[in-house]
Structure 1
C-alpha cells in the first residue's frame, strides 16, 4: 500500500510539474520581450546621434541630441553636432546659426570651423568661406586632408570667380570621419 501511495504521489508531482510555465526560467517561446535592466547606464545621446548620422539618419540623430541636451544642457559640442546634422538635412541657415554659436563658446575646434566653411561655400559666400577654411586649417595644423581639400577648393573658386566654361559644376557634401564634411565635385 505504501508503494502504491508513493507511486501515486510521484505521478501527481510529475503531472503538476508538466503544468508549470517554465519553472525558474522563461520559456523560449515567450512572445514578450525580456525585462529592461535599469541598473545599467544608458549610452550618451551624443554618441548615439553621431552613430545615427553615420548611418544617414539625421532626423533620428536630432532626437538623440535632444535627449543629450536634457541631461547635459546645450554645450558647444552639442550645438556643433546639431549644426552638422542640419547640414546633412540641407538646412543651411539653421546649421550656420548653430555652428557660429558653437564657435563663440568654443572657438578651438577645427571640425566646426570646417563645417561652417562648407555651409558658407554651399551658400555662395566664398570670401568668408575661404577665411573660415584658413582658420580651420591653422587650428588643425594641416593634419586633416578634408580641411586642406576644402581650403584648396575655396581658394581656386575665389581666384577664378568669373571663369565659366559653359559647364555647370555641381558639388556635393561628403562626410568624412565623425564630424567633418568635404566638398566634392560630382563627376
Structure 2
C-alpha cells in the first residue's frame, strides 16, 4: 500500500498535466511585471477610506514616478487622513518646493496647517492656492473665507467649529470642503 502511494506521488510530480498553468497568473490586462499605477490605486483607496493602504500605494507610485509634486501631495494627504500631521506637513512642504504651481499641494498644505493651529499661515497658503487656481474654485474661496473668519474670531467664527476635509476631484486633485 505504501509503495502505491509513493509511486502515485512520483508520477504526479512528473506529470506536466498536473502542473499549474502559470501563463495567466497575473491580473487581467497586465503582463508579467506590469502593474496598475500606484497613484491610481492610491486615489481609489483614498476615496474608499482606506488611507493606510492608499499611503502604501502612493509610496509605490513614488517608486514608479519619482518624488513629483503630485506624488508628494498624495502622500501628504494620506498622512493627514491618518492623523500624522507632522509627517503630512513635512511632505506637503516638499511638494510645494517641487512644484510651486501645484494647486492641490498648496491646498493640502493649507489643511494641514489649519489642523495644526497655524491659522494665519494656513490662510496665506489658501490665498496662494486660490491665486494659482485663478479663482476658478468656489470651494477654495469658501475655505479661504472660513480660515480668515477663524483667524479674526477664533471662538465665534459662525462655522460651528467644523473641520476641513479633503475630497478627491478628477485625476487625484484634492479640494477643500467643510463638513455640512
TM-score (norm 1): 0.72
- Cα RMSD after superposing both structures: 2.7
Q: 1:145 aligns with which of 138, 146, 152?
A: 138
Q: SS state of the match for residue 167, structure 2?
A: strand
In structure 1, the partner of 2:64 is 71
Residues 3-22 of structure 1: pairs in structure 2 closer than 5 A: none
In structure 2, the partner of 1:16 is none
Q: Does 1:35 align with 2:28?
A: no
Q: 1:45: Cα distance to partner? A: 0.9
Larger Rg: 1
Q: 2:77 aligns with which of 61, 84, 94?
A: 84
Please, which runs of 5 or more residues in structure 2 have no aligned partner? 1-19
Q: Deviations over 1:25-55 (max 9, x none)?
A: xxxxx9x9x5325258422111111111111
Is residue 150–residue 157 contact of structure 2 (8 Å, CA) maintained in 1? no
Q: 1:145: Cα distance to partner? A: 2.3
Q: SS state of the match for residue 175, structure 1?
A: strand
Please, which runs of 5 or more residues in structure 1 have no aligned partner? 1-29
Q: 1:76: Cα distance to partner? A: 2.2
Is residue 84–residue 179 contact of structure 1 (8 Å, CA) maintained in 2? no
Q: Distance in 1 between matches of 2:120 and 2:156?
A: 16
Q: Does 1:125 align with 2:115?
A: no
Q: Distance in 2 between matches of 1:171 and 1:68?
A: 29
